[in-house]
Amino acid sequence: MQIIDGKQISAQIKQEIAAEVEKIIAAGGKRPHLAGVLVGHDGGSESYMSSKVKACEQCGFKSSLIRFEEDVTEQQLLDTIDKLNHDSDVDGFIVQLPLPRHINEQRVIEAIDYRKDVDGFHPINVGRLSIGLPCFRSATPSGIMMLLERYGIETRGKHCVVIGRSNIVGKPIASLLMQKSTPGNCTVTVCHSATPNIADYTRQADILIAALGKPGFVTADMVKDGAVVIDVGTTRVQDDTRKSGWRLCGDVDFDHVAPRCSFITPVPGGVGPMTIVSLMHNTLLAATRQIYSL
Ligand code: GUN
């Protein structure tokens, strides 16, 4: 059994990105610039956003953070997006989700210029991903693909079972893994909350991707010997032994599942760090206009 070290791979990719940025600067180019919009003070969103700002520094990017209180109006957000869309110094930007309930999230996502949508949430990027065209891939599926590639994990002809059908993980990772590419060429099954007897499917998985957000859901009896297990779960559970009062918990019962696997991602330190690095990768693609010209 090999533990997939997302922390190490993400550090390596950040170094590669930083080296690219130095080349751009040495050639007289502009430093890539990622902007982020953060509404309110949700603990998870605050911590994601500060990790993204830190990753920008490590990659040599410029970053800027625009903050609003919970009572921001949808129009104020749309006006901010319009400014960012037209700001020629900003290569890409994200609006951290979730947004307060009085704001229509989909309207906000669709207001972002798809050419600056480094989160890959705009329907143009989602649609292009699903038909295999160059696009900004949403960060978590893109990070999983990078891990499979860097660890040389064979995917062709394998049965991949995805648990979870979210727009930002389950659906796009299913699309990517069924595409005629490497990694890819899998036979994909997607299970979700209305699937009866999920274990009947997961036991057939050569590659199992757990992205449902239920801590410890995947138990040892649900996994085939030698499977590759990718844990996308990042639920905060109470832990009074920690200073913060919580710890991150994956969707997989790691201690019991790991001995059965050929490869497994830990939580934390597996998929999580790759999600941030995928955003950095998309920002570099945006800054160098490798997908769309502006
Ligand atoms: N909230 C949880 N994950 C994400 C993400 O990848 N991007 C944004 N914008 N918000 C999130």
Query: Annotated catalytic, 58?
Result: no
The domains of the chain, with CATH numbers, are 29-126 (3.40.50.10860), 139-271 (3.40.50.720)
230-280 pLDDT per residue, tens: 999 999 999 999 999 999 999 999 999 999 999 999 999 999 999 999 999
Judged against a pLDDT cut of 90, whether residue 294 lies above it is answered with no
86-130 pLDDT per residue, tens: 999 999 999 999 999 999 999 999 999 999 999 999 999 999 999
Q: Is the peptide bond before 32 cis (omega within 30 degrees of 0)?
A: no
Q: What is the pTM of this model?
A: 0.97
The protein residue with its alpha carbon nearest to ligand 1, atom 2, reads 97
* Percent of the residues in the chain that have a pLDDT greater than 90, as a whole number: 99
Substitution candidate for ligand 1 out of 42, 96, 136, 248 with most atoms within 8 A of CB: 96
**Smallest Cα–Cα separation from 4: which of 275, 258, 281?**
258
Residue environment code for 234-257, b if the CB has 16+ CB neighbours within 10 A, otherwise e: bbeeeeeeeeeeeeebbbbbbeeb
Substitution candidate for ligand 1 out of 66, 97, 271 with most atoms within 8 A of CB: 97
Question: What pLDDT is stored for residue 67 in this prediction?
Answer: 98
Whether 176 and 129 have beta carbons less than 8 Å apart is answered as: yes
Residue 98 CA, closest ligand 1 atom number? 1
Token pair in block for residue 142? 């893109």
Which parts of the chain fold into alpha helices (H)?
A: 6-26, 43-59, 74-86, 105-111, 123-130, 139-150, 170-178, 198-202, 254-257, 271-287
